């Protein structure tokens, strides 16, 4: 069993192919994974189970990822969940906005392989003292 078998990850991603690819890779690394296709679905998952980390897309239908991030950081029981933004937005202002709103890191989808995403998740969990 992997050392991170008990850590849970919530992926908020509206692209079914990318969400499935990320979920498969992250699960194969030993994490428990939940997937939400938009911010509303992400909030429903959070109401049931608080994950150890959220992998968050920015361009979502309805409420975008920045608004979702801003909203969860205002809620006491969610505010300490580490968030890694995983988006195709790569402008400095987007990265700065994500960090300003409380994201732990910002990954540009086309610049990272699935293995690198898994490594980044483990790095953030270790840094935040959440690795189980």
pLDDT digits (tens, 9 = 90+) for 114-127: 999 999 999 999 99
Token pair of 23 as six digits = 């979920």
Instruction: Tell me if 67 sits within 8 A of 41, measured CB to CB.
Output: no
pLDDT digits (tens, 9 = 90+) for 60-104: 999 999 999 999 999 999 999 999 999 987 788 999 999 999 999
The pLDDT value recorded for residue 64 is: 96
Task: Give the mean model confidence (pLDDT) for residues 8-36.
Answer: 96
pLDDT band at 5 (very low <50, low <70, confident <90, very high): low
The pLDDT value recorded for residue 35 is: 98
**Distance between CA 114 and CA 66 in Å, rounded?**
23
Cβ neighbours of residue 34 closer than 8 Å, sequence gap 6 or more:
8, 9, 10, 11, 45, 49, 51
Name residue 107's beta-bridge partners.
86
Of 1, 56, 72, nearest in space to 32 by CA: 1
State the pTM of this model. 0.93
Q: Which ranges of 29-113 would DSSP assign to H, the alpha helix?
A: 39-48, 65-73, 92-100
- Residue 1 pLDDT > 50: no
């Amino acid at each position: 069993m992997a050392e991170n078998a008990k850590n849970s990850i919530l992926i908020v991603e509206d692209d079914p192919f990318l969400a499935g690819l990320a979920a498969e890779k992250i699960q194969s690394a030993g994490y428990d994974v939940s997937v939400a296709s938009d911010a509303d679905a992400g909030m429903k998952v959070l109401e049931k189970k608080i994950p150890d980390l959220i992998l968050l897309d920015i361009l979502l239908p309805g409420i975008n990822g920045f608004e979702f991030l801003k909203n969860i950081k205002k809620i006491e029981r969610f505010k300490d969940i580490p968030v890694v933004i995983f988006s195709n937005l790569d402008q400095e202002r987007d990265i700065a906005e994500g960090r300003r709103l409380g994201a732990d890191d910002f990954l540009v989808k086309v610049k990272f392989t699935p293995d690198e995403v898994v490594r980044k998740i483990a790095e953030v969990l270790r840094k935040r003292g959440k690795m189980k």
